Amino acid sequence: MVVARDYASFSELRDEMKGSIGFVPTMGALHEGHLSLIRRAREENDHVIVSIFVNPTQFLEGEDLDKYPRREEADRKICELAGVDLLYLPTTDQIYEEDELCMGAPKIRGYILEGAKRPGHFDGMLQVVMKLLNLSRAERAYFGKKDAQQLILIQQMVRNYFMPVEIVPCEIVRDADGLALSSRNLYLDDDERRRALSLSRSLKKAAKLIQSGERKSEIIRAAMRGILEPEVTELEYVAIVDREFRPLEEVEPGNTIILVAAKVGQTRLIDNLWVR
Ligand code: AMP
């Protein structure tokens, strides 16, 4: 594995790669969720590029940019063992200049749910993903369904800007007890971690209700809230939407995503279920 820290050396190393490239952009503090993306990229491509960049423009004022976990040494080893060919660890000045052109998230889909709770987050996310997809010149890029709205907006960006890359959605990886893996789980103490399980439990309850024939969103959301409210510090939203992120009054199997966002202690967590 080779490591690049600036665009000039990254680009040179990228030029040497022949054959297909699978790209996995991350913010580091790598866990099994990231690894599942890397493994899939490894299987489906001749070369794998991973980037680790904690992108300042997708953090809002007062969010956890400064304390976001940074574990460069451990991450490097994980990438090496996973068979990554090129690891890009850019500094902010390698990615941004003053007074840039800016990406704007779509006005509806980009400003509901996560976009409503974190206005501007998706603009910054799309900005950096556009840059990273362009500089990687990858055939395929791998993103987790864990960040469902992010994934759908990236697919839209690629479609709207005719970008020559295939976006590959990857399943959510969970701990044995159901907690969706996230770099932010590192913030949770034991009690918070236990309470955080209410997110995946509420989604399991939703799945069970749907399996038993329930379709009414309001009934499913009420059952989920009943599980979440006693446990979480602040329930931000429970939403049932279609794959275009339009609210659904009735679940449509195959076309429905159920999403939850909540704070447990100071830590903001999200989870979701793609209903089959
Ligand atoms: P992050 O480092 O949080 O920006 O995540 C980098 C990529 O890993 C994104 O595409 C995430 O959706 C994906 N990811 C994060 N957690 C998981 C998980 N538990 N399962 C699958 N993919 C994940």
| Closest of 72, 59, 54, 49 to residue 135, by C-alpha | 49
pLDDT recorded at residue 141: 99
| Global model pTM greater than 0.95 | yes
Q: Which atom of ligand 1 is nearest to the CA of 145?
A: 12
pLDDT recorded at residue 56: 98
Q: What is the largest CA-CA distance in the chain?
A: 57
Q: Ligand 1: distance of its center to the CA of 69 in Å?
A: 14
pLDDT recorded at residue 82: 98
pLDDT recorded at residue 159: 98
pLDDT band at 229 (very low <50, low <70, confident <90, very high): very high
Q: Ligand 1: distance of its center to the CA of 83 in Å?
A: 18
Average pLDDT over residues 231-253: 97
State whether the Cα torsion 130-135-140-143 is positive or negative: negative
CA distances in angstroms from 203 to 145, 181, 220, 275, listed in the order given:
14, 15, 9, 10
Identify whether the C-beta of residue 154 lies closer than 8 Å to the C-beta of residue 127.
Answer: no
| Closest of 142, 149, 164 to residue 58, by C-alpha | 149
pLDDT recorded at residue 92: 97
pLDDT recorded at residue 26: 98
pLDDT recorded at residue 230: 98
Which pLDDT tens digit goes with each residue over 57-101? 999 999 999 999 999 999 999 999 999 999 999 999 999 999 999
Straight-line distance from the first to the last Cα atom of the chain, in angstroms, rounded to the nearest whole number = 38
User: Mutate which of 170, 183, 267 to test ligand 1's pocket (most atoms within 8 Å of Cβ)?
Assistant: 170
pLDDT recorded at residue 227: 98
- Residue nearest atom 18 of ligand 1, based on CA coordinates: 33
Write the DSSP assignment of 86-133 as a string of letters: EEE---HHHH--SS-------TTTTSSTHHHHSTTHHHHHHHHHHHHH
Residue in the structure block whose two tokens are 């902010």 = 92
Which pLDDT tens digit goes with each residue over 111-131? 999 999 999 999 999 999 999
User: Mutate which of 37, 78, 155 to test ligand 1's pocket (most atoms within 8 Å of Cβ)?
Assistant: 37
Identify whether the C-beta of residue 49 lies closer than 8 Å to the C-beta of residue 21.
Answer: yes
Q: Ligand 1: distance of its center to the CA of 143 in Å?
A: 7
Identify whether the C-beta of residue 84 lies closer than 8 Å to the C-beta of residue 48.
Answer: yes
Q: Ligand 1: distance of its center to the CA of 27 in Å?
A: 9
Q: Ligand 1: distance of its center to the CA of 213 in Å?
A: 31
Enter the DSSP assignment of 172: P
CA distances in angstroms from 47 to 36, 60, 110, listed in the order given:
16, 34, 32
pLDDT recorded at residue 23: 99
Enter the DSSP assignment of 240: E
Of all residues in the chain, what percent carry a pLDDT higher than 90?
A: 100
- Residue nearest atom 17 of ligand 1, based on CA coordinates: 33
Identify whether the C-beta of residue 228 lies closer than 8 Å to the C-beta of residue 202.
Answer: yes
pLDDT recorded at residue 95: 98
pLDDT recorded at residue 179: 98
Domains of the chain, CATH where assigned: 2-170 (3.40.50.620), 183-275 (3.30.1300.10)
Which pLDDT tens digit goes with each residue over 173-217? 999 999 999 999 999 999 999 999 999 999 999 999 999 999 999
| Backbone torsion region of residue 70, taken as left when φ is above 0, otherwise alpha when ψ lies between -120 and 50, otherwise beta | beta
Identify whether the C-beta of residue 50 lies closer than 8 Å to the C-beta of residue 87.
Answer: yes
Q: Using a 6 Å CB cutoff, which residues line ligand 1? A: 26-27, 33-34, 36-37, 143-144, 146-147, 170, 172-173, 180-183
pLDDT recorded at residue 188: 98
Which pLDDT tens digit goes with each residue over 134-183? 999 999 999 999 999 999 999 999 999 999 999 999 999 999 999 999 99
Which pLDDT tens digit goes with each residue over 37-47? 999 999 999 99
